Amino acid sequence: GTGSNILSALQDLFWLSKSKVEKQLQIISVLQWVLTFLIMGIACTLILMYILCTDCWAIAVLYLAWLVFDWNTPKKGGRRSQWVRNWAIWRYFRDYFPIRLVKTHNLLTTRNYIFGYHPHGIMGLGAFCNFSTEATGVSQKFPGIRPYLATLAGNFRMPILRDYLMSGGICPVNRDTIDYILSKNGSGNAIIIVVGGAAESLNCTPGKNSVTLRNRKGFVKLALRHGADLVPVYSFGENEVYKQVIFEEGSWGRWVQKKFQKHIGFAPCIFHGRGLFSSNTWGLLPYSKPITTVVGEPITIPKIDNPSQKEVDFYHSVYVDSLIKLFDKYKSKFGLPETEVLEVN
């Protein structure tokens, strides 16, 4: 009757509203991380300097004293918070794209691991969501494994930002930190290194599956020195969420980018996503394209205190072959044609 029709219409309206609210929450969750990535470090530094010049200077002094006392904590694996890693905001972040983590093999808790994450993309959104939050269930899929996402050490010199990053299990990507985690933190540790780094980010663009790996062998040497197994990880869709202006080799734009990369550690990219209120306008929000991160089979690595170049080259070639096989096995399942080839530079 008329009453049931009205009730049905109200239910439809309710669910429509709920859907819209969830979409807005997804946008907000992604936007806060993009702004964190781009400006939080600089903004917090400027705010701290400003507070020092106000009547609330004591607060800034106390924080700076704490900063000095806590300076080396990031080098010892940081200070992760399961509460932060389980925030509901990360589930909205996951669902915006959506992001998915695929497990292919079990990992032994009696071993340590170095995950090689590919490709970098503009912001490594898949790496962050999968390994610095619990949104995709990394702790359930790999029980007993503690993931540490490694990023630029300079981020941990920024007030507030450093504490925010550490709460998610993010650590500096330097030798001291990796040595500590793999030698003085027991077993069951997995350090995720975005191997291609800033150089790879300069070439990421939709439709391109390319990794900077051919001459990146430092992570293999670290694995040999600690006897940590290597695990190839490929994130299908990581390059699809932003569009970038690619400067050709030898151009002034590429020259500027390389200078920044050499002296500062990151390369400024000219990129855009969608707008805040419309997917048809340009903005800082990434496009909502699926990102599927596949964790491959671990490669057993022996412990060699001083590995020779020949040994490093051998295990590096094994790793490259394993990554290519992983890509070829799963590419058609995640929207790529069988003819697609992974370009290894």
| Helix 218-226 with 175-184: angle, nearest 10 deg | 30
Average pLDDT value for the chain: 91
Domain segments of the chain as ranges: 17-332
What's the mean pLDDT in 291-315?
97
Q: How far is residue 261 CA from its own chain's centroid?
A: 18
> What is the pLDDT at residue 265?
66
Q: Residue 188, by phi and psi: left (phi above 0), alpha (psi -120 to 50) or beta?
A: left
The full DSSP string for 48-92 is HHHHHTSTTHHHHHHHHHHHHHTTTGGGGT----HHHHT-HHHHH
Report residue 96's pLDDT band, with 50, 70 and 90 as the boundaries.
very high
pLDDT, tens only, 44-86: 999 999 999 999 999 999 999 999 999 999 999 999 999 999 9
Q: What is the largest CA-CA distance in the chain?
A: 82
Report residue 292's pLDDT band, with 50, 70 and 90 as the boundaries.
very high
For the entire predicted model, the pTM comes to 0.90
The answer to whether residue 10 scores a pLDDT higher than 50 is no
Report residue 276's pLDDT band, with 50, 70 and 90 as the boundaries.
confident
- Cα torsion 329, 335, 339, 342 to 10°: value is -60
pLDDT, tens only, 15-39: 556 788 899 999 999 999 999 998 9
Residue 278: CB atoms within 10 A of its CB come to 9
Structure tokens at 153: 């050490």
What's the mean pLDDT in 207-228?
95
As a residue count, the chain comes to 345
What's the mean pLDDT in 291-311?
97
> What is the pLDDT at residue 264?
67
pLDDT, tens only, 319-338: 999 999 999 999 999 989 99
Q: How far is residue 254 CA from its own chain's centroid?
A: 24
Structure tokens at 257: 């980018």
pLDDT, tens only, 159-203: 999 999 999 999 999 999 999 999 988 999 999 999 998 888 888
How far apart CA 22 and CA 108 sit, in angstroms, is: 37
How far apart CA 211 and CA 193 sit, in angstroms, is: 13
